[in-house]
Chain A
Amino acid sequence: MTTITLGAAINAGLRRAMNEDPRVLVMGEDVGRLGGVFRVTAGLREEFGAERVVDTPLAESGIVGTAIGLALRGYRPVCEIQFDGFIYPAFDQIVSQLAKTRARSGGAVTLPVVIRVPFGGGIGAVEHHSESNEALFAHTAGLRVVACADPADAAGLIRRAVACDDPVLFYEPKRRYWDKGEVDITMDLGDLPAMDRARVVRQGTDCTLVAYGPTVRTALEASAAAQEDGVSVQVLDLRSLSPLDVDTLYRCAKATGRMVVVHEASTFLGMGAEIAAAVTEECFHALKCPVLRVGAYNMPYPPSRVEEEFLPDVNRVLDVVDRALGY
């Protein structure tokens, strides 16, 4: 066990994956010499060489398109898209090529490509650097979408993603990169939690907060605050957005009878909408109130001076938990 940041945990997971499989490559803008703008790939080029840690031309479609070609050749590329808002030039390669190739080939061709995406706001950034576009890709058949929330889980989740034979969008909560936690990087791959499973990160009996990525910590803080008022709030870290771990969602919803989904993405057609629909369909009679959502307003991510008001914080979460309890 070692105490490191979330960014360092992903770095450790990538290093382990590269050591375990010589076909694993890291590629993206500034991932080599610089170690990535968030330093998530720091030191990898020195350790594995420029052939395996590839500083690419500045072209997102090119990054994903060539990763597909490398995967067709038998490699396992891990691409970095520098910021969430820069993924759109690669949208066709992700949605029409990467996601569809296996089905197109009748199952004959697999593309084990990971696309790492630092996402979400809260770092005072300029436009296009604070977005939460995970639902676009969760809606796309053929992709798997996961989000890590803390160092302990991130180190294993990235290894699981790299080992997966399907394409994986790996979302990293950029404002939590510097959060520290205990990480065990020595675990065998097979002992790591499965990639498609949610995990209960705090027990509670009155209400379940469902979160992923950056809002897991927000939900944990909200739960701690609620406890001071005598309200017991369970926190579920989804981890996997596609597929959803509906078994765990249903179990939690049935246990507490109240569910609130918290994400930075806008609520309209966001992950919360799907979770609310699925949980309502399956747990209707066990619910004491509708599944409620806390997320962004339906506007482009605002200038950073107002992002604190825009992002779901502890108070907004508690406000909606109160509404859930008041039904």
Chain B
Amino acid sequence: MSEKAAADPSGAEVRDLRRIEPVVAPPHGAALRFVMPDGRLTPQGEAAGVDLGLARLLFRDMALARRFDAEALALARQGELGLWLMSLGQEAAQVGSIRALRPDDHVFPSYREHAAALARGLGPAELLRQWRGLAHAGWNPATHRFHFYSLVLGTQALHATGYAMGVLRDGADEIVMTYFGDGASSQGDVNEALNWAATTGAPVLFFCQNNHWAISTPAAQQSRTALHQRAAGFGLDSYLVDGNDVLAVHAVTSQAAARVRDTRMPAFIEAETYRMAGHSTSDDPGRYRADGEVERWRLRDPITRLEILLKAAGVGASFFTEVEREADALAAATRRACLSLPDPELADLFGTVYTERHGLLDREAAEYAEYVAQSLSEVPA
């Protein structure tokens, strides 16, 4: 097409079709990092400075979570839990983010957020009930402003968005945060939620823990675009952070949360982390990933790097001894709580399905009670 042919009779400029370049995603940006895996501060970390009180709190949260996680794994191995999904390796992403929220900011987790849950104040009994087969949800969401786990991946992103629409209508200054992973980011619900929150102006902070594996499927097979870039495409403020650097996670979440609170617009954080264990105790990650990869990530461990930093900053041995003592106590309490949880009664479940009377369940509850009574009466004395 000649320059002349490209001229529009109306006088408007017309692009030469041969010169149109494809719209490509910008190059993958570097994740925000304050503390390097060897415990030294990055220039950004130097600039931000270290709040030692906060660092100690976050260290304690992570250490307790890891000990709890290990004890739950042991309980699962011993047959006391039907299944366990470890948060091992993801402690910084979870603890750093949830500690950046206000206690009245409502949280919608996925199902691996044990470290976040513990930091929010949930106890071992609440966290284990579901995995011991005693209930489908271990706690009342209202108690800690922490919704129960969602096992259908990504569904909670929409619940968070709707909840945030309610917050908006109430004129409250709370925000809502939802956790999900790289796998769930392929779900329609997550993409609907990102779009919905952006178009309706719902104060949601989407926190994506990219732990690199959805059971056996690597993150690269979930998305050709970096997840934080995809979120930006939906119109959200989007951040990328080293998810194994708890101080950076806390800083970026604090900043994003403040912005969501001020602007009443959603934001997105992608935290690069790693699922050190299998997907669950039923999984065998040796079938699909190389040991070398796990070892490389072990060198980026979130707790180790903060421990080095704290020690270098002069935090004494007594602090670490005390955290270890607390962790041991939590492990013992976890075991006690697990073994003393009462079994549910089938008879009690009839009343949980509907709020108002329901003829069918009323009849079935009566039939069941009668059947049980009859069976008992037939047992020889």
Using CB atoms and an 8 Å cutoff, list the residues of chain A in contact with chain B: 51, 54, 56-57, 59, 61-62, 64-75, 77, 89, 92-93, 96-97, 100, 102-110, 141-142, 144, 164-166, 196, 242-247
Contact = CB atoms under 8 A, between A and B. Distances in A.
Contacts of B152: 92, 96-97
Given A66-B196, A72-B147, A165-B356, A106 B137 contact: yes
A65 B140 contact: no
Nearest to A55: B200
A235 B159 CA distance: 42
B135 to A, nearest CB: 6
Given A103-B352, A103-B353, A108-B140, 13 more contacts: A56-B196, A62-B189, A65-B192, A75-B169, A77-B162, A97-B152, A97-B155, A100-B136, A103-B136, A104-B136, A142-B353, A242-B360, A244-B360
A65 B351 contact: no
B58 interface: no
Q: Chain B: interface residue count, which band?
A: 35 or more
A102 B354 contact: yes
B355 interface: yes
A61 B135 contact: no
A65 B359 contact: no
A62 B353 contact: no
Contacts of B189: 61-62, 65, 92-93
Interface of B: 135-137, 140-142, 147-148, 150, 152, 155, 157-167, 169-170, 188-189, 192-193, 195-196, 199-200, 349, 351-361
22 contacts: A57-B199, A59-B196, A61-B158, A62-B161, A65-B159, A65-B161, A65-B189, A66-B196, A67-B162, A69-B164, A70-B165, A77-B162, A93-B158, A97-B150, A97-B159, A105-B140, A109-B141, A110-B355, A164-B355, A166-B358, A243-B358, A244-B360
A57 B162 CA distance: 13
Contacts of A64: 158
Given A97-B152, A104-B148, A166-B356, A57 B196 contact: yes
Nearest to B355: A165
Q: Which of A92, A100, A103, A165 has the most CB of B within 10 A?
A: A103
Contacts of A93: 155, 158, 189
B193 A109 contact: no
A317 to B, nearest CB: 27
B353 A66 contact: no
A62 B170 contact: no
Nearest to A111: B355
Contacts of A72: 141, 147, 159, 162-163, 166
Contacts of A141: 353
Contacts of B361: 243
